[in-house]
Amino acid sequence: MRFAPRFRPIPFIAALIVAIFGILLGNWQQDRAAYKTELQTQQRERGAAAPIELGPAIAWRDDLAFRRVRLRGEFVAGWPVFLANRPMGSQSGFYLAMPFRIAGSDMHVLVLRGWLPRQAEFGKLPPFVTPAGPLLIEGRVVASSGRVMELGESAPLAPGAQVQNLAPQDLARASGLALQPFLVQQTAPATADDRLQRDWPAPDAGIDKHRGYAFQWYALAALAVLFYVMTGFRRGSGKTD
């Protein structure tokens, strides 16, 4: 007995289509991983650069993300907002967000002041202290506060509200304050008075996830070819005519 190749057009076309799509999608995931690797390198470089001072006229630009900055002005103490479902280690808690008015202007920046633990009593907000008067704070520019899954409906945006997600434009509409379209994570060590923790998590670029997806797509392409080759032989007689 011998096995002889048998060309079957429909399985061949199907295997070819699957293999092509697998390779194309694998290449796309590899490109995403390369892009995010470059982005992560830029973030490290910007984080290591000397801080710049943000004045009222500065506008958002892509190379501002993750830059270390200084802000002079004062917090708008009447507009604290608590971002819920922000754990720190194994403990649940909040990020405290508060507008910061830039000195000599009516322009504000939304500052993530730090993390506070959830209180044992349901619905009770954790205590915190807001320093009064002119301040100089340092932080890192971020495009957003990070999104979490919405668990039910958030409370209307008001001073002291607990919300799942928050964007500067949302707070600008609710408060009437002029706000820059980015946020600043405050990075100066917390004092005993303000009780805030500022151990901000490093941004996850998801590079390993993209590489894993690329491997899966390439494996699918290889399996399609292998399946066609293995099933493309028919059993025949070893005798010759």
Query: What are the pLDDT digits (tens) for 11-56?
Result: 888 888 999 999 999 999 999 888 878 777 777 777 777 888 888 8
Q: 178: closest CA among 108, 73, 76, 97?
A: 108
Could you state, in order of their start, the residue ranges of all structural domains in the chain?
Answer: 2-42+206-236, 67-186
Residues forming beta bridges with residue 199, ordered by sequence position: none
Position 87 scores a pLDDT of 86
The answer to whether the predicted template modeling score (pTM) of the entire model surpasses 0.85 is no
pLDDT tens track for 83-134: 988 888 888 899 999 999 999 899 999 999 999 988 766 767 888 888 888 9
* Per-residue pLDDT band at 139 (split at 50, 70, 90): very high
Q: What is the dihedral of CA 161, 163, 166, 170, to 10 degrees?
A: -50
Can you tell me the distance from the alpha carbon of 72 to that of 184, in angstroms, rounded to the nearest whole number?
A: 13
Helix (H), strand (E) at residue 209 = helix 207-231
DSSP3 helix / strand / coil % (the chain, rounded to 5): 30, 25, 40
What own/partner pairs with CB < 8 Å and gap ≥ 24 does 38-44 have? 39/205, 40/205, 40/207, 42/66, 43/203
* Per-residue pLDDT band at 170 (split at 50, 70, 90): very high
